[in-house]
């Protein structure tokens, strides 16, 4: 979800970007049509006239609102945890880059590690999107490294292993004091923790039964509602029904979108933009002279 300035309150009334309105437009049109039929049927004799008291809808509406609140709270918890985990990726990646530049005696080795960190960030992005990362990570890896990473079942973890191998080679070559290695290794462990936690969120959705129950209840409620309002609001039944149905449909659709924080919907995290920004920041942490001499 790209960050954008908050628009004027009047403009927000008509905005479609970031809105779930396109997703629920058909349901709203259907609800409006049911309202039209309920109003027309209220003027006909039984069995066409299904009008009944609206009292039960008040109690059912409150219960439905509670369930929707729980559903959205659970989805938002997943969205916010995903954002915090990406923050951990940023913290640990920055720390590995800083320690490599300042603690390694070989500028070329430090540049290689930072380059691998950029590859890790992009590999993680593609892993969470469940798509082929070759095009995104190829610019940061040698042909041998790319072959190794692409052959691994978990590409980001393979990149972390390559970074650890670079540190091991630096220790054997005397380019770093062995006492300092645990400090960098702890940051690599932090990257692995963030990776595994992100995979947990991406691979473990909320139990399907929650979505199923709420989806059915919302649609049954909004379909039956106009027949309970027809005798009370008359010709305004289609408009009132659609107005009442909008928040129920919208909240259900929003919960489905933010339940997948690493997805591609308009309200998912913009990990494509964040990964690109982090990779550029990591590469900028290496002094230009070191990049030139690498």
What is the DSSP-derived secondary structure letter of residue 130?
A: T
**Mean pLDDT rounded to a whole number for the chain:** 87
Q: What residues have CB less than 8 Å from 111, skipping those under 6 apart?
A: 286, 290, 291, 294
Measured distance CA(62)–CA(124) in Å, rounded: 42
Measured distance CA(79)–CA(55) in Å, rounded: 36
Measured distance CA(93)–CA(117) in Å, rounded: 7
pLDDT tens-place string over residues 70-121: 888 999 999 999 999 999 999 999 999 999 999 999 999 999 999 999 999 9
Burial of 5 (0-12, 13-18, 19+ CB in 10 A): exposed
pLDDT tens-place string over residues 117-136: 999 999 999 999 989 999 88
Ordered per-residue pLDDT tens for the chain, 294 residues:
555 566 665 676 667 676 788 889 999 999 999 999 888 887 776 665 666 667 777 777 788 888 888 888 999 999 999 999 999 999 999 999 999 999 999 999 999 999 999 999 999 999 999 899 998 899 999 999 999 999 999 999 999 999 999 999 999 999 999 999 999 999 999 999 999 999 999 998 888 888 888 888 899 888 888 888 888 888 888 999 999 999 999 999 989 889 999 988 878 899 999 999 999 999 988 776 444 434
pLDDT of residue 292: 41
pLDDT tens-place string over residues 180-199: 999 999 999 999 999 999 99
Measured distance CA(60)–CA(265) in Å, rounded: 30
pLDDT of residue 293: 39
Q: What residues have CB less than 8 Å from 259, skipping those under 6 apart?
A: 74, 75, 78, 79, 205, 206
Tell me the two tokens of residue 26. 């058909």
pLDDT of residue 14: 64
Residue spans of the domains in the chain: they are 25-40+53-78+206-268, 85-204+272-293
């Amino acid at each position: 979800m790209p960050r954008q300035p908050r628009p004027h309150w009047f403009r927000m009334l008509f905005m479609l970007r970031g809105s779930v309105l396109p997703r629920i437009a058909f349901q709203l049109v259907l609800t409006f049509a049911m309202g039209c039929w309920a109003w027309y049927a209220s003027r006909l004799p039984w069995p066409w006239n299904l009008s009944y008291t609206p009292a039960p809808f008040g109690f059912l509406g409150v219960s439905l609102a509670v369930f929707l609140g729980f559903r959205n709270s659970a989805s938002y918890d997943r969205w916010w945890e995903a954002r915090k985990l990406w923050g951990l990726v940023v913290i640990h990646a920055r720390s590995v880059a800083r320690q490599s530049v300042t603690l390694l005696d070989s500028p070329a080795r430090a540049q290689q590690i930072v380059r691998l960190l950029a590859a890790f960030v992009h590999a993680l992005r593609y892993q969470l999107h469940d798509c082929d990362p070759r095009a995104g990570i190829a610019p940061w890896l040698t042909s041998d490294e790319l072959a190794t990473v692409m052959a691994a079942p978990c590409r980001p973890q393979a990149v972390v292993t390559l970074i650890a191998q670079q540190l091991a080679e630096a220790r054997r070559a005397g380019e770093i004091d062995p006492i300092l290695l645990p400090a960098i290794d702890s940051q690599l462990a932090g990257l692995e923790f963030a990776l595994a936690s992100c995979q947990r969120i991406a691979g473990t959705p909320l139990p399907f039964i929650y979505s199923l129950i709420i989806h059915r209840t919302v649609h049954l409620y909004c379909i039956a509602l106009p027949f309970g309002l027809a005798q009370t609001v008359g010709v305004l039944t289609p408009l009132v029904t659609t107005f009442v149905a909008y928040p129920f449909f919208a909240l259900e659709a929003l919960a489905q979108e933010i339940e997948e924080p690493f997805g591609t919907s308009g309200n998912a995290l913009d990990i494509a933009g964040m990964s690109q920004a982090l990779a550029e920041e990591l590469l900028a942490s290496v002094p230009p002279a070191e990049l030139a001499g690498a």
